[in-house]
Structure 1
Amino acid sequence: MSHQPDPRHDIDGDVYVSPRYLASTTGIGDPALAPLLDLGWDLQHDEDGNVYVSAPDRRVRLGYLPEGEDDGLWRINAYRDPFGPPTWGVCFNDRTPTEFVSAFTTALATAYEQGPDAYLARPAAGTDEHDPFLAVVPLLKQRWEIDRPRWGVFAVHSPDGLAGMEFTTGDLDPEAELTTRDARWQLWAGKSADRPVWYATASTDTPVALLTAVTQCVSDPAPLPRWRQDTLSYIKGMAQLTPILPPEPSAPTPLDVQRAAATRRPAAFPAPSVPRWSTTSRPALRGPRR
């Protein structure tokens, strides 16, 4: 089954970027906000253009921060106590493909409807649903390779080496996990984890189902549409760009067929007023000799 997007659809872009993890952001936050706003979550914004979205019970909060203090464009935190410290936190930087953020917020909206036991579920090794390494499975199915980049870090990387996901073992500083890249999970794309095109982080207690939604989207082999002029500066020399074909013409309607047939029909000429001679005409009678 082909994963190639259908060019007949209205696509926002003029090239497909493959692999998709090199596509970078679309620069539009609305698709990732939509799953939460559709549930009636509260939306606020400040005078700088930053957007803040909160669940009705204030236990989940999202910040879309184009004018934030760093490159953490998306920050999502969840709380067992609305007035306490975050139970878990996730960050996507300003170049992360928007589709990956949308995958996370869609899964978060589903979990929120299921209740706190879903969106506050802590990972637990050896369990069927909450084993943290289940988040890596979609990547392994696409032949990502297991790696040990440094002591205390388990990782997998894409076959081309241009994307990876890292899991740090041992004890971590809870505050640092929420404010820096020193988090339990880090997902990245680029030439290395030290100099990524984009990155995303997730703290220790981030539910496995939410992480898995992102890795499933990242590992999908289908390319992503982008505008060429917005893409080359980020991935020049790394990704494959395929021009998006123009939309195919729609199937002709019966009226179209009838009109086309009418234009091909020969014009009718009026019958001649003088009869034409033919080989079946009777010969003229001889007259009397003079």
Structure 2
Amino acid sequence: MLAPDDPNRYQEVLVSPMYLAGSNGTGEAGFAPVAHWPHRYLDEGPCQLLVTSPDQRIRIGWFGDDFDLWKISAAAEAASATRWTATFNHVTPAEIVAGLTTALAHDYAEADAYDGNGHFLAHPSIYWADAVRPLLDAGWRRGVPDSPGIIEIIAPDGQAGAIVDRRDYGPDAETVTLWAGPPGWGTRAEAVFTARTPSHLIAATASVVAESAPVIRERHQIDRRMQHLVTMTPVAPVTDTHVSRAPTPLEVRRTAVTQAVHRAARGPRTAADLRVMAAQSRSAGAAPNRSGSLAPMPAVRLPTRASAPRQGR
């Protein structure tokens, strides 16, 4: 554990695998793909920041004091019942959340340009493997489940996986869970999707987990219980303009968002779609604030307290 006066405490490092990097204390990467959407700051209640699609059918909530830090949902109409929900806990890297928000931004742009309905409301595939296909393609293996009706997929290092629960097909049943890290409040990342979540949106999230490119963190942001499970490479300062240097945090974030755009757009997408979405994601778009003027999306801090973790995970 790093002492408060350790000179390396705030040293920036590249952490891999990314799914064990935890949060960097902000939600920037998760919000970046939808920075051009309306956002509202809420003074009261558990949800501190709410970002919605322009028609309010897609909602991305930041619950800064809760164990489930992100709650993302979609509905057929702004005032209709939620079709599906995805939650990400406070340990989940925001770069993983960006896999989902990027796919949602892409789906919404397509709906607005073509049929007005939205692929983000598509029915899930009847094949469970479609939701976790990126993990299987990356060589993750089938595990041995504890109960009938449960399918487990495990990463080669044994430190991440997916659980597909086929026992309950109720509309709000939690059927797919992506996880990383040892069990524990500060060590296990979880992303949970309800039964009617479109399979391609789960796959877009899983693809970020599967590729797990290194991400920037400060040394003190890596839980001491995780340090032996990750590789931390110092981001060296630039000493010579002719010597190759490590990427800056901003460059890493931009690269992660751009890669997420391409991951989410895999499948029946055109080259024009990819160019448009990549351009949108790279832009430092501003969104209306409460007074209606334009303001950049600020960093959102992690909670100082948290409720008890979800039981049974």
TM-score relative to the length of structure 1: 0.71
Q: Aligned ranges for residues 14-53 of structure 1 at < 5 Å?
A: 14-38=12-36, 41-47=37-43, 50-53=48-51
- Give the equivalent residue in structure 2 for 1:118: 119
Q: Aligned ranges for residues 1-290 of structure 1 at < 5 Å?
A: 14-38=12-36, 41-47=37-43, 50-67=48-65, 70-115=66-111, 116-125=117-126, 131-150=127-146, 151-175=148-172, 177=173, 183-192=174-183, 197-247=188-238, 249-251=240-242
Shift of 1:73: 0.7
Cα distance per residue 1:221-252 (max 9 Å; x no partner): 53222111111335132222222333362249
Whether the 8 Å contact between 2:125 and 2:198 is mirrored in structure 1 is no
Change in 2 beyond 3 A, CA 1:162/1:251: closer
Letter paired with 2:143: D
Whether the 8 Å contact between 2:153 and 2:163 is mirrored in structure 1 is yes
Whether the 8 Å contact between 1:24 and 1:234 is mirrored in structure 2 is no
Classify the secondary structure of the residue corresponding to 1:73.
Answer: strand
Shift of 1:105: 0.5
Change in 2 beyond 3 A, CA 1:163/1:123: same
Shift of 1:98: 0.9
Work out the CA distance in 2 between the residues paired with 1:112 and 1:227: 34
Shift of 1:54: 1.7
Cα distance per residue 1:156-211 (max 9 Å; x no partner): 01112111101100324444x4xxxxx11101111259995210101111122211
Change in 2 beyond 3 A, CA 1:51/1:13: farther
Residue segments in structure 2 that go unaligned for 5+ positions in a row:
1-9, 112-116, 244-313
Whether the 8 Å contact between 1:95 and 1:197 is mirrored in structure 2 is yes
- The 10-residue stretch of structure 1 (71-80 or 240-249) with the greater mean CA deviation from structure 2: 240-249
Pairs aligned (count): 226
Letter paired with 1:83: A
Letter paired with 1:230: Q
Classify the secondary structure of the residue corresponding to 2:203.
Answer: helix
Letter paired with 1:241: M
- The 10-residue stretch of structure 1 (91-100 or 193-202) with the greater mean CA deviation from structure 2: 193-202
Work out the CA distance in 1 between the residues paired with 2:134 and 2:119: 20
Work out the CA distance in 2 between the residues paired with 1:25 and 1:221: 14
Whether the 8 Å contact between 1:23 and 1:231 is mirrored in structure 2 is yes
Work out the CA distance in 2 between the residues paired with 1:233 and 1:27: 16
Classify the secondary structure of the residue corresponding to 1:233.
Answer: coil
Residue segments in structure 1 that go unaligned for 5+ positions in a row:
1-11, 126-130, 178-182, 253-290
Cα distance per residue 1:73-103 (max 9 Å; x no partner): 1101101133232111100111101100112
Letter paired with 1:162: Q
Task: Tell me the C-alpha RMSD between the 2 structures.
Answer: 2.4
Classify the secondary structure of the residue corresponding to 1:160.
Answer: coil
Letter paired with 2:153: V
Classify the secondary structure of the residue corresponding to 2:179.
Answer: strand
Work out the CA distance in 2 between the residues paired with 1:191 and 1:46: 33
TM-score relative to the length of structure 2: 0.66
- Give the equivalent residue in structure 2 for 1:284: none
Whether the 8 Å contact between 1:20 and 1:224 is mirrored in structure 2 is yes
